[in-house]
Amino acid sequence: MNSADNVRNALFFNILKYAWGLCLDKNINTCLMVDEAHVLLSGSNALGAEFLAQVQRRARKYNTGTIIITQQPSDFAAPSVIIHGKAIFDNASYYLVMGLKKQAVDDLSRLIDLNENEKESIKRYSQGEALFVCGNRRMRINVIVTPEELESFGSGGGL
């Protein structure tokens, strides 16, 4: 993570390209998950954004589901990558939007349709609250975890 942007981007791209290659057998249902996707797009990495958009467009053809996770939707709305960012979001079947700050909500609304009520709610969500979008259905949900599930994340947020 401390490498120069071009080195880090090349490493992420190679790993992602390898993982995508594992998903190309139409006879096997697969899921490609990209966590911390904002890191791949940092510095307005148009090549990384274009690759993610192509994966998102083609995944169903290969019986592949995709999960793209970011804490910073703003990176998908940067002027140099917004065309690809919109393609990534437009080709998603579901969105789970948890609490965001004002600027992130404004940027997200450039990528997906959010009404004014949803924008204001997202800014005020507490831990566990989210907007779940499935097609044209939208619902506010509350994720409740058991103590055992919460403990499995550890004190640092990971395992």
Give the residue from 35, 47, 49, 38 showing the smallest Cα distance to 83.
49
The pTM for the full model equals 0.82
Percentage of residues of the chain with pLDDT beyond 70:
96
Q: Is the pLDDT of residue 25 over 90?
A: yes
Same structural domain for residues 24 and 66?
yes
Indicate whether 21 and 72 sit together in one domain: yes
Rounded-to-integer distance, Cα 109 and Cα 115, Å: 8
Regarding whether 136 and 80 lie in a shared domain, the answer is: no
Please check whether residues 85 and 101 belong to one and the same domain.
no
Give the number of C-alpha atoms closer than 13 A to the C-alpha of residue 61, restricted to the C-beta side: 8
Q: 129-134 and 94-98: which strand pairing?
A: antiparallel
Q: Find how far residue 34's CA is from the centre of its chain.
A: 7
CATH number of the domain encompassing residue 38: 3.40.50.300
SS3 letters for 71-87? CCHHHHHCCCCHHHHHH
Q: Comparing 159 with 54, which gets the higher pLDDT? A: 54
Last residue of a domain, one of 92, 118, 137: 92
Can you read off the two tokens belonging to residue 6? Answer: 């071009």
Amino acid at 122: I
Residue 98 sits in the same domain as residue 43: no
Q: Does residue 85 sit in the same domain as residue 110? A: no
Q: How confident is the model at residue 158 (pLDDT cuts 50, 70, 90)?
A: very low
| 140 and 73 fall within a common domain | no
Confidence of residue 20 (pLDDT cuts 50, 70, 90): very high
| 40 and 109 within one domain | no
Per residue in 26-45, pLDDT (tens digit) is 999 999 999 888 888 877 78
Are both 9 and 78 inside the same structural domain?
A: yes
Say whether pLDDT at 71 is over 60.
Answer: yes
Count of domains for the chain: 2
Amino acid 156: pLDDT: 61
**Residue 59 and residue 21 in one domain:** yes
Residue 107's domain comprises 94-159
Q: Are 67 and 26 in the same domain?
A: yes
